[in-house]
Amino acid sequence: FCIPTEYTMYVERKECAYCLTINTTICAGYCMTRDVNGKLFLPKYALSQDVCTYRDFMYKTAEIPGCPRHVTP
């Protein structure tokens, strides 16, 4: 099954004083899909594969505290 799953990632830069912990949701599991691009000579059952895909997604920016001025946080 494809289900949203809570996930914790850690973001750090060696130049900065802190490591950020980011809690988010990721897609986990497998959903049936078909890939038909460029595969004209294969039977349809060979095109089926289990993958996990997202319905939508969102980009967010996080700044790592404690970075020197010359380092992008």
Is residue 14 assigned to a domain? Answer: yes
Establish if 69 belongs to a structural domain: no
Residue 73 lies in a domain: no
Full domain range(s) for residue 38: 2-47
**Residue 52, in any domain of the structure:** no
Residue 32 lies in a domain: yes
The reply to whether 67 falls in a domain is: no
Taking only the tens place, the pLDDT of each residue in 47-59 is 666 666 667 778 8
pLDDT of 56: 76
What is the radius of gyration, based on Cα positions, of the chain? 20
Dist. CA 59–CA 24, nearest whole Å: 11
pTM, rounded to two decimals: 0.57
Residues in Cβ contact with 25 at an 8 Å cutoff, skipping those fewer than 6 apart = 4, 5, 6, 7
42 located within any domain: yes
**Residues with Cβ < 8 Å from 19, sequence gap 6 or more?**
10, 11, 12, 64
* Overall number of domains in the chain: 1
